[in-house]
Amino acid sequence: MRKKILVIDDEKDIVKLLESRLKANHYEVVTAFDGEEGLEKLKKEKPDLVILDIFMPKTDGYTFVRECKTIVDIKSVPIIVLTAKERMRDLFKMEGVADYILKPFMAEELLEKVNKHIGPA
Amino acid sequence: MHDKPIKILVVENNLEDASLIKEFLKEAPHIQTDLVHVQRLSDAQKWLAAEAFDLILLDLFLPDSQGLETMTKMDRKAASLPIVVLTGLQDETIGIEAVRRGAQDYLSKEELNRELLSRVVLYAIERHRLQAVKNDLMAMVSHELRTPLTIVRESIAQVLEGLLGGITEEQRQRLSTALTSTDRLNRMIGNLLDMAKIEAEKLELKKEILNIADMAREVISIFKTRIQSQGLRIIENFPNPDLKVYADKDKIIQVFTNLLSNAIKFTEKGYIEVGVVDKDNFTECSVSDTGLGIGQEYLLKVFDKFQQLGRASGQGEKGTGLGLSICKGLVESHRGRIWVESPPASPITWRAGPPASTRFTFILPHYTPGEIFKECITMGIKESRRQGLVLSILTFEIDDFDTIEKREGKEKMASLLGHLEAITQQSLRRQSDTVIQNSRSILVVLPFTPKNNALLVGARIQHTFEDYLSQESDHPIKILCHAAGYPEDGTTEEQLLKKVREK
C-alpha cells in the first residue's frame, strides 16, 4: 500500500504544489486548509506523515500538534512543520515535532525529509 | 509633542551633575519629564527590570562599572531603549565611540543647558523610534515575501522538471533563468532579514563548543566543485586540527560561506587559502585569494551595506551587496573582529605560486570552561523560562583530587578527566546537551531535563566511570556528582552554581 501524507496549510497554492510534488513521487496525498479540518482528516485518514503550516486561521498549528498528541492511536505520527520563521526550529525540537522545513523550500529538501521519516512511497 | 511626560532614567554617580540635570530638565522647553536618578549600574538594571522608561541618560563612569563596558552591560538589559551618554569635556572620543556602538547621542556635561538637553532628548527618542520602525519593516517584509516566493519557485521548478508534461528546450532555458533569479531574490530576502536582526540586536546566538577546522572543511566541501571547475586550487592551513571555539555553528558557517564565495567570485586563477590558527587570546580564521585585489580607497568600505565596489565584478551568481556587512555583524556579535588586507601585510609562506592579493581575517575570542558553563546555564534558563520548561546542571569531580594527583601524576589525571568527559558525551546524545571539561571537573548542562532524571543520568555515568577506574588503578577512586535544577534550586545562574558547589 502506498504511504499516505496529510498536508495542512491555509495557503491553497502551497497545498496544491505540495500535492502535485508528492504525488509525482508516488505518495498518496490528502489535504486540509486549517487545523480543525486537519484533525478530522487525521482521525479519518490515518496518514503516515503530516506536513503542517503553523500560522493558520481557526485552529493553528500549535493547537493541532497539542491536540493530535492526545489522540491515542495516532500520536506517534511524524509531523513536519512548514514555516518561514527560523526560530521555530528551536521551539519544535522539544514538542513532538519530527522535523521542520523553512519556506521557501526546495523540493529536494522536502522529499529528503519525508523519505527520512517514512521512507519512499 | 508628547502627551505623557517622558520617563528618563538618569544613571549618574556625581550628585552635583545629577541635580544640575534635574534642574535643567524641569525647566527644559517643549518637554515634560519624569526622572528616576540612580548612582550605580546595578541599581539602573533593577529599575529597568521593574519599570518602563523612554530614555536613559548614562554616565559611563560609575562605582560598579567603568568606561564603554558600562554601555554594553546596560545595553543587554535595555536593548530596546535609546541611550544618551554623558561625558566630560575632555573625553569626547569616548562619546563618539559610544554612538558608534549604538548610543543615540552624547552630551558633554560641561556644556549642558536647557535647550540642548531638551533637543537631545527629543531627537534621541525620535531617531530611535525610526530605527525600530525600519527594522520591524524590514523583518516583516522579508517574512511576508517568503510564502509567495515559495509558490513562484516551486511552480517554476515543477514545470521545469516536467512534472506537468514535456517542455521545449527554449522554454526550459527561459524557466531556468527565472529559477536562478528567484533563488537570488530569496538570498536577498534572507540577507535583508539577517541584517535587520543584526541591526536590531535581536540576533540570538546558539553557542556551542565547535571544532572550527571541521566547519571550515564543511564549507570548503560545498564549494569544491565550483573551485575545481574554475581551475583553482584550495589550500587548507589548519596546523591544529582539534582547535575548538565557542560559537554559533550556523553563524560561523555563514561567515565562512560568504568569505569563500566572495573569494571564488573574484579569483580567476591561482589558489584560495583557508586558515584556522590558534593565537594567545583568540582563534584566527582567514580566507586569502590570488584574485583581483581591493583598491586602497575601498578597503574601509567593503564591510558597508550595499557596497559592491572595490573589486571589478566577478563571475558566478550575483551578490546582494550585504554578504560582508553580515559577516561583520555576525563576527562582532560573537565579540570578535573582522578586517581585510589587500595585499596581506604578512604574505603566506606558501611554497608554490604567487602570494595572495587579498586576505579576509576574523578572530573569535577564547573562553574559559567556567565562562562557557555560566553562559550555557544563562542561555538555558532563558529558553526554559520562555517555554515554561525545566533545566538541570550536573558536575562530576574526582574525590580527593590533590592526593590522587600526587600519587598518579598530572598526566594521568588529565587522561582520567578526558575519559570521564568521553563517557559523559557518550551517555548524552541530545544536541542541546553541553559537556565541558574543566581543569579538574566535568560540567554538564541538560536543557529541558528534570532534576531527578538528571540525577539518574549522573548516577549511570558515575558507575560506568568507576567501573572503568577499577580496571585502571589499584587504589579506589571516587567520583562525586552534584546536581541542581531550575526552577526548584534557583532561577539564576549564580543560584544554580552555588547549589552544585555546596558539598
The top-scoring range by mean pLDDT among B154-158, B292-296, B449-453 is B154-158
pLDDT of residue B350: 53
Confidence band of B171 (pLDDT split at 50, 70, 90): very high
Q: In CATH terms, is domain A4-118 a member of 3.90.79.10?
A: no
pLDDT of residue A94: 47
Collect all residues of chain B within an 8 Å Cβ-Cβ radius of residue A85.
143
3-state secondary structure B374-394: HHHHHHHHHHHHHHCCCEEEE
pLDDT of residue A71: 79
pLDDT of residue B472: 74
Domain B1-202, second-level architecture: 3-Layer(aba) Sandwich (3.40)
Scan residues 9-68 of A and list those with Cβ closer than 8 Å to B.
11, 13-14, 17, 20-21, 24
pLDDT of residue A51: 94
In this structure, of A50-59, B11-20, B196-205, the range with the lowest mean pLDDT score is B196-205
- pLDDT tens for B331-341 read 999 989 999 99
B154 vs A17, A87, A90: nearest CB:
A17
In this structure, of A101-110, B169-178, B484-493, the range with the lowest mean pLDDT score is A101-110
Please indicate whether, in this complex, the C-beta atoms of B151 and A93 are within 8 angstroms of each other.
no
Please indicate whether, in this complex, the C-beta atoms of A11 and B164 are within 8 angstroms of each other.
no
- pLDDT tens for A1-41 read 899 999 999 989 999 999 999 999 999 999 999 989 999 99
CA distance linking residue B136 with residue B385, whole number of Å: 25
> Smallest CA–CA separation between A93 and chain B, in Å?
9
pLDDT above 80 (res B310): no
Q: In the predicted model, what is the mean pLDDT of residues A98-106?
A: 80
Q: Which residues neighbour B179 within 8 Å (Cβ) at sequence distance 6 or greater?
A: B153, B156, B157, B160
Q: CA dist B352 to B233, B290, B356, Å?
A: 11, 12, 11
- Name residue B324's beta-bridge partners: none
pLDDT of residue A116: 92
Please indicate whether, in this complex, the C-beta atoms of A103 and B150 are within 8 angstroms of each other.
yes
Best probe of the B interface among A9, A11, A13, by most B CBs < 10 A, is A13
**Is B359 within 8 Å of B263 (Cβ atoms)?**
no
pLDDT of residue B389: 83
pLDDT of residue B293: 84
> Smallest CA–CA separation between B466 and chain A, in Å?
32
Confidence band of B258 (pLDDT split at 50, 70, 90): very high
Higher pLDDT, A49 or B32: A49
- Domain B207-365 carries which CATH code? 3.30.565.10
What stretch(es) of chain B map to CATH 3.40.50.2300?
1-202
Task: Indicate the Cα dihedral angle B430, B434, B440, B441, nearest 10°.
Answer: -60
pLDDT of residue A65: 84
Own/partner long-range contacts of B372-379 (Cβ < 8 Å, ≥24 apart): B372/B209, B372/B246, B372/B434, B372/B436, B373/B436, B373/B438, B373/B443, B373/B445, B374/B493, B374/B497, B375/B207, B375/B246, B376/B207, B376/B434, B376/B436, B376/B445, B377/B445, B377/B493, B377/B496, B377/B497, B378/B493, B379/B206, B379/B207
Q: Model-level pTM?
A: 0.66
Q: In the predicted model, what is the mean pLDDT of residues B356-366?
A: 92
In this structure, of B94-98, B257-261, B430-434, the range with the lowest mean pLDDT score is B430-434
In this structure, of B114-128, B284-298, B314-328, B355-369, the range with the lowest mean pLDDT score is B314-328
pLDDT of residue B351: 55
pLDDT above 70 (res B308): no
| Degrees, nearest 5: CA angle B365-B367-B371 | 140
**Is B461 within 8 Å of B427 (Cβ atoms)?**
yes
Half-sphere exposure of A42 (CA within 13 A, CB side): 28
Q: Return the number of CB contacts < 8 Å for A and B.
A: 48
Please indicate whether, in this complex, the C-beta atoms of A104 and B186 are within 8 angstroms of each other.
yes
Task: Indicate the Cα dihedral angle B411, B413, B419, B423, nearest 10°.
Answer: -170
Q: In the predicted model, what is the mean pLDDT of residues B26-32?
A: 82
Confidence band of B205 (pLDDT split at 50, 70, 90): confident
What stretch(es) of chain B map to CATH 3.30.565.10?
207-365
CA distance linking residue B97 with residue B103, whole number of Å: 9
Across all residues in chain B, what is the average pLDDT? 86
What stretch(es) of chain B map to CATH 3.30.70.270?
369-501
Q: In the predicted model, what is the mean pLDDT of residues A80-106?
A: 69
Domain boundaries, chain A: 4-118
Residue of A nearest to B189 (CA): A104
pLDDT above 70 (res B347): no
Share of chain B above pLDDT 90, in %: 31
A17 vs B143, B146, B151: nearest CB:
B151
Residues of B at the A interface (Cβ-Cβ below 8 Å)? 143, 146-147, 149-151, 153-155, 157-158, 161, 163-164, 186, 204, 206, 383, 387, 389, 432, 448
Q: In the predicted model, what is the mean pLDDT of residues B250-264?
A: 92
Collect all residues of chain A within an 8 Å Cβ-Cβ radius of residue B161.
107
- pLDDT tens for B380-406 read 888 888 777 889 999 998 888 888 888
Q: Which amino acid is at B46?
A: K
Task: Indicate the Cα dihedral angle B243, B246, B252, B256, nearest 10°.
Answer: -20
pLDDT above 50 (res B54): yes
Domain B369-501, second-level architecture: 2-Layer Sandwich (3.30)
Q: What sign results for the dihedral spanned by CA atoms B176, B180, B186, B189?
A: negative
Put simply, whether A111 touches B (Cβ < 8 Å) is no
Please indicate whether, in this complex, the C-beta atoms of B149 and A103 are within 8 angstroms of each other.
yes
In this structure, of B136-145, B209-218, B386-395, the range with the lowest mean pLDDT score is B136-145
Is B422 strand, coil or helix? Answer: helix
CA distance linking residue A78 with residue B273, whole number of Å: 43
